[in-house]
Amino acid sequence: MEVSRRDRHVLVFSGDRATVEVKVVNHATYATLEVPRTHGASVLSSLAGPVPRIVAGGTENGLSVPCAWIAGMTKDDDIQQIPEGSAELWIGAVPSLGPGGRDVFLGLGSHADEPGARLARFLLDRGHEGEEGVFYLLPEDLAARYERTGDRLAVTLLARRDVLAHSLRACPEEERVLPGALPSDPLDADRVVLLRRELTTGFVPVEQGGEFQPVLLVDHTAGPEAGPEELTALFEEGEAGIAVLNAELLPDRA
């Protein structure tokens, strides 16, 4: 058993043929166990024995697992490791961050010169390193939003105007005016839209403990030709960083 590098509140149990992650989520008057990821084992077999069993679509004896995770874990493990999308936005996995599962990645290359990308790279300095190469940002500094419309998933990168103004106060004038070139967040006039990427996919971000899975922003110096597999390899080699961004999900507009 070991503590997950992805989340310090998750314990990873590994055997010869299976790996299971278990997360304890504390509530006001009780606690629940969640199984965010498995590899080589089903949810039910993961918790067989004296532990109360899981019921799809709800809970029994206080033990719960989001239905979306159950649906996701029925897929073939090999298929889940194949990145879906492009270097700008893809669904995939980074083996060193934990076994199994699929995450949402936004690529942010040093070659990207649009105002939003430049400001996003600037705000990454506000992150705090957790695991090696993985940085965590407060939602007030940099955040993301998921939105599903039909068969498309959109990811929007958002920043507060006051945070940008404070961070850019000592920068040259040409950088201080960059936020003015960006559109306002239609849901919050105090924020601006840095980037928006879309992908045709059936993937639905998973909610755990009242929060949706974060967006992982990959900060890299590879050229525009680099694909998801190359960017993942760069992170594994310590040549790229990952910023973990809090995310919200708008209701499906399909």
Cα–Cα distance between 140 and 11 in angstroms, integer?
28
Please write the tens of the pLDDT for every residue from 111-152: 999 999 999 999 998 999 988 899 999 999 999 999 999 999
Please write the tens of the pLDDT for every residue from 146-184: 999 999 999 999 999 999 999 999 999 999 999 999 999
Residue 100 pLDDT grade (very low, low, confident, very high; cuts 50, 70, 90): low
Cα–Cα distance between 37 and 95 in angstroms, integer?
12
Cα–Cα distance between 146 and 61 in angstroms, integer?
32
Q: What pLDDT was estimated at residue 72?
A: 35
pTM over 0.85: no
Structure tokens at 5: 């590098």
Q: Cβ neighbours of residue 113 under 8 Å, at least 6 residues apart?
A: none
The secondary structure of residue 213, as a DSSP letter, is: P
Cα–Cα distance between 80 and 208 in angstroms, integer?
20
Structure tokens at 202: 């059936």
Task: Supply φ then ψ for residue 196, to 5 degrees.
Answer: -140, 125
- In order, the DSSP letters of 132-157 are TTEEE--TTTSEEEEEEETTEEEEEE
Structure tokens at 159: 């920043």
Q: Which amino acid does the sequence have at 22?
A: V
